[in-house]
Chains A and B, each alone.
Chain A
Amino acid sequence: MNTASSPSSVARADAPRSSGSAGPRLDGPVPDVTLPLRFVLFGIFSLVSGIVMLVARPDLLAAYHYNQHIVAITHVFVLGFLLSIVSGAMYQLVPIVLETPLHSERLARWHFVVHVVSVTGMVAMFWVWNMKQLGHFGSGLALGAALFSWNIIRTLLRVRGWTVVSFGIASVLFWLGSVVIAGLALAAAKSTYELNESSGVNPLLAATLNGLRAAQSFLARFEPLAVMHSHAHLGVLGVFILVTCTIAYRLVPMFVIGEMQNPRRAWTSLWLINAGTAATFLAVLNQSPLKPVAGLISASGLLLYGLELHAIIRNRRRKTLDWGIRMFLTSQSLLGVLVLLGLGLSRPGIPLTPFSGQLETTYGFLAILGVAGLAILGMLYKIVPFLVWFAAYSRQIGRTRTPALHEMYSTRLQILGGGSWLAGLAVTIAGILASHPACIRAGTLLLAASLVTFAFNIARILGHLVHPQLQPIAPRVPASGGPLRTTT
């Protein structure tokens, strides 16, 4: 028996594993594709909602960010957009990466319901600044996060040994739990409590109220802005940037046909980002002069990540980079700008002036919509077509001709959307720095225009679920010189 093709000297980083239809995993590890898709669609809806709010109220970004409306819009983006898509992507990718089924799809479906209700309620309560009801909806979000973490942890525990990716996922879950607890504590600290203790009080209620009061008095030791900023760093760095790095270590080699080049470097990068997240949280919370040190720890982890990503791209086997990957890589280069800005802002003794306040707003805006947002938009062009293709066409393989993924949407619109997103980021940031509402509106309109192209493409992709484009399969050509060879 002959071997099939020309040998390659490329080393394989994956540990040898075996899987098969004759083995115990007859149903395969792949979850129902509608599960991640519903999180993705709610995420896109939230992104559109947030941008529409900014177009309607550009004045909010022209002033300092510590106000209820900016906090509400920020949570539209971080919970409605980013966390929804991260959750959906995890439910899709974790079983595939670990080659084991998700612990419970039913729990994940409950997570979706709880998540949507909680995020919607939280945003509304931020907008009207009702801290009591915010705490209730926030508790719902915490329940959803707990369901999500339980599901993913149980799935992780099915696999022996740790890889870079499973370590990254576990770290993200830890920081997700931390940021949710910190957020609930923040809401508790801003509430007032009244309890008529003279007329028989339910002991559970009394204990809960005492706990909330304790959280309130503990957080009263810290400066309110510092508490909010430390909470924000936990979420953005510990959850969204760390998850981006982790998923990139898996998806980028898959999409460019390559391998992780230096696993030790990848491990070190994630350890440093974890350490940097903890150090940044503590330093920001305590307004410590050691903030630059914490920033440098995070920056060194992100630098190693950038070096590894560059090495993966440089050694890829597919020479052409499609536009989804290009958008993702552009977002990761913006990460470098973000790190420099963060290090600059971490210098002790910077007075809070109108300009330094707008620099802080720029920092948050760039992190959420520049780095995490663009990364997700790029990856969605890889993930959504695949999910829809799988739902619409996978049963037809070999029986009819199915469309290629890039045929499911317009590449021209994708390029136009990516360009207008970058232009929108640049113009909005210029408006933020100049505290110029008209400029901010122009920038957010460019972001909205980008989303129109994105929505058009997503609608076109989803249209395949309703109207599959099936064509008769071409007559089979005898294999000679092609990828098929026969031996005995």
Chain B
Amino acid sequence: MAADVIHLDARGLEPPQPMIRIVEALEALPAGAELHARTDRNPVHLHPFLAERGFLGNSTAAPDHEYGFLTIIRRAG
């Protein structure tokens, strides 16, 4: 069965608002679900916090001809 996916569009926001929105969304992320977050830039400040708070994340350039980056995050373990 496919995992629940929460989509978050954090584009158009000035740093650090995208990071705040993403981390706040992660606080409520159900077990087994994934957060798919869109940002204008590669969220380089985010990744140390993901590791620290027990999440795994991967950022890539948006794959669907949209601008920005897509970061897929799930709980570790």
Contact = CB atoms under 8 A, between A and B. Distances in A.
Contact of B7 (A20, A257, A399, A485): A485
Contacts of B49: 394, 397
Q: Which secondary structure characterizes the binding site on chain A? A: loop
A386 B62 contact: no
A317 B12 contact: yes
Given A484-B8, A485-B7, 16 more contacts: A4-B7, A4-B9, A8-B67, A12-B67, A17-B42, A18-B60, A19-B44, A20-B57, A21-B57, A26-B47, A26-B51, A28-B45, A254-B41, A394-B16, A397-B23, A486-B5
Given A390-B45, A405-B16, A488 B2 contact: yes
B4 A486 contact: yes
Given A257-B12, A389-B16, A483 B47 contact: no
Contacts of B24: 397-398, 473
A465 to B, nearest CB: 16
Contacts of B10: 483
Interface residues of A, number: 53
A1 B2 CA distance: 9
A442 B67 CA distance: 50
A267 interface: no
Q: Which secondary structure characterizes the binding site on chain B? A: mixed
Nearest to B62: A12
B4, B8, B24, B44: residue with the most chain A Cβ atoms closer than 10 Å: B44
A199 interface: no
Interface string B38-71: 1011101101111100011111111011111001
A16 B67 CA distance: 11
23 contacts: A3-B7, A3-B66, A4-B38, A12-B62, A14-B42, A17-B42, A20-B71, A23-B58, A26-B51, A28-B48, A30-B44, A257-B40, A317-B12, A318-B12, A389-B16, A394-B16, A397-B20, A405-B14, A479-B6, A483-B10, A484-B6, A485-B6, A485-B7
Contacts of B6: 479, 484-486
Interface string A18-39: 1111110111111000000000
Interface in A162-178: none
Contacts of A12: 61-62, 67-68
Interface string B13-41: 01111011101111110000000101011
B67 A21 contact: no
Interface residues of B, number: 50
B7 A254 contact: no
B64 A21 contact: no
B40 to A, nearest CB: 6
A439 interface: no
Contacts of B42: 14, 17, 19, 99
A5 B19 contact: no
Contacts of B41: 254
Contacts of A308: none
Which 10 residue pairs of A and B lie closest in terms of their CB atoms, listed nearest first?
A20-B58, A4-B7, A16-B61, A28-B48, A21-B50, A397-B23, A5-B9, A398-B27, A398-B23, A21-B47
B5 A21 contact: no
Nearest to A402: B20
A246 to B, nearest CB: 17
B44 A96 contact: yes
B76 to A, nearest CB: 8
A134 B59 CA distance: 50
Contacts of A23: 58
Given A20-B59, A28-B45, A30-B44, A486 B12 contact: no
B26 A25 contact: no
A98 B65 CA distance: 23
B64 to A, nearest CB: 6
Contact of A19 (B19, B59, B67): B59
Interface string A250-276: 000011010100000000000000000
